[in-house]
Amino acid sequence: MAEVFVKNEKVYKAKKIAFNIATYVFLAAIAIAVLIPFYWMLLTSLKTEELMLRIPPILFLKPEDWEISNYYKLFEVVQSGPRRGEPLFPFFDYMRNTIIVSLVTTAGTLITTVLSAFAFARLNFKGRDIMFAVLIGTMMIPGEIFVLTNFLTINSLGWYDIMDQTFMDVLFAMTLPFMTSVFYIFYLRQTFKQIPNELYYAAKVDGTTDFQYLLKIMIPVALPTIVTITILNSMGAWNAYIWPAIITTKDEFRLVSNGLRGAFTDTSTGRTDFGQQMASATLVTLPLLILFFTFRKQIMRGVSRSGIKG
């Protein structure tokens, strides 16, 4: 009997090990797939033009072959002319603009999303469901179509004055059209709906107002979803390209995404200096990585908790 048990345990152990190996191999494969673009970015940023063009491509680079000039070229200054001494590539200005724009957009989005999701999930008013259906319907319209209408709106609001655009104009123009998102409203409404009605009635009996109920009960319960929305929305703002390119008239107002696109292309031949482009991409990614590693626990908790129903 005992032998059988031992044997079974052995089989079980072997199976477990095999399963673990399979899992880790699978995870490692996925991890590699995810990491390769980042690795490639880093690798390219450390290659000289000549190494970059090598065929077959060089996959590993010894530290002594690293070409860090791509990095310090980013911080070169203009050598001659009236702009002498100014940075060739105003990297920090672009970063600052991107950070400000994504913070403002995200804050605005959160406020509109939470309030309207609450209204659609909890409050009873006439035409609520029709309004919601119309809102959902607008999701069918591709975002690019809004570029022209948004442009006309922003222009008539006076925020696109090409002779004299201020940073506040640009900030409003870049953030306001993106301060609501039907998808996030829909997403959060579904989360809110899962919160049992009993909690609402109990709170009402205790004399809380709707707003207090939203603040004290709903937001804490739906926090994981809100965190997700925050992350997704900041990412969207960080990656925005077409709209910021159209609405900014001056170089100093540009976001990192637009700056990266144009700055390293030789305008006379249309060729791009990939080394420098990747070096700057690495620098753009760096703050996000630092942010992630610092707040790893909080972010992971948010993501893992989002599976648990309130």
Partner 1 sequence: MKKIVVLLVMFFLTFVVVGCVGVVTTTTTTQATTTTTASTQSTTTQSQGTTVSGQTTLPTTTQPTTTTAKVVMDLPDDEVEILFWHIYGQEKSALLDELIADFEAMYPNVTIVSTSQSDYDTLREKINLGISVGQVPTMALGYPDHFAAYITTGAVQPLDTYINSNVRYELTDPTSTIFDQGYVDVALDIEDYLPGYLAENNQYIGGFYYSLPYSKSTETMAVNRTVLKAHVDDIRALGITISDEGFFSHETPLTFEDIQKLSTILVNETDSTDVANYQCAYLINYDSPGNMFINMSRQWNAGYTNIQGEILINNQITKNMLNYTKAMFDARTLVLPVEWSEGYGSAYFMTGDVCMTIGSTAGVNYNIPTGTDDNEQFGKFEVDFLTVPQTVTQETNNTAVTISDGTNDYNITGSLSAVQQGPNIGVFSNASANEKLFAWLFIKWLTTSENTARWAMDTGYLPVRLSSYSSTTPIELTPTFSITYDDFMGIAQTYWNEEGLITKRDISASDSFRVSSQWIELAADSLTGLGSFNIEEGEMTEPIISKYIETTGTTKVLEIYNGTGAELDLSAYTLGLYADGSTTPTATLTLSGTVADGDVFVIYNSTDAAVIAEGDLENATVMAFDGNDVLVLKKGAAIVDSIGQISKTADFAKDVTLVRFGNLVWEPTNEYWDYLYKSMVANIAKNQADYYRYDPAFAAGSGSAGSAQVRVEAGYCLENIYTAQYTPEGALSFMLNQLVWG
> Rule CB under 8 A: which residues touch partner 1?
50, 53-55, 78-83, 86-89, 104, 107-108, 110-111, 148, 151-152, 155-163, 168-169, 172, 176, 215-216, 219-220, 245-246, 249-251, 254, 258-259, 261-269, 271
Q: How far is the CB of 132 from partner 1 (least distance, A)?
A: 22
Least distance CB 127 / partner 1 (angstroms): 25
Phi and psi, residue 284, nearest 5°: -70, -35
Tokens, residue 40? 């490639």
Q: Which is nearer to partner 1, 77 or 235 (CB)?
A: 77
Contacts of 280 (CB under 8 A, 6+ apart): 74, 89, 91, 259, 260, 263, 264
DSSP 49-86: HHHHT-SSPP----GGG--THHHHHHT-B--SSTTTTS
Nearest C-alpha neighbor of 255 from the set 103, 34, 137 = 103
Give the shortest CB-262-to-partner 1 separation in angstroms.
3
- Which one, of 228, 225, 254, 226, lies nearest residue 240 by Cα? 254
Residue (189 or 254) nearer to partner 1, CB: 254
- Min separation Cβ 209 and partner 1, Å: 13
CB of 121 or CB of 170, closer to partner 1? 170
Token pair 């390209």 is found at 241
The rounded distance, in Å, linking the Cα atoms of 288 and 282 is 10
Q: From 241, 106, 226, 253, select the one nearest 175 (Cα to Cα).
A: 106
Which CB atom, from 58 or from 235, has the smaller least distance to partner 1? 58
* Helix 91-121 vs helix 167-175: crossing angle, to nearest 10: 40
Of the pair 169, 185, the CB lying nearest partner 1 is at 169
Q: Taking the complex as a whole, how short is the minimal distance between the CB of residue 180 and partner 1, in angstroms?
A: 12
Question: At closest approach, how far in Å is the CB of 33 from partner 1?
Answer: 22
Considering beta carbons, is residue 20 or 166 the nearer one to partner 1?
166
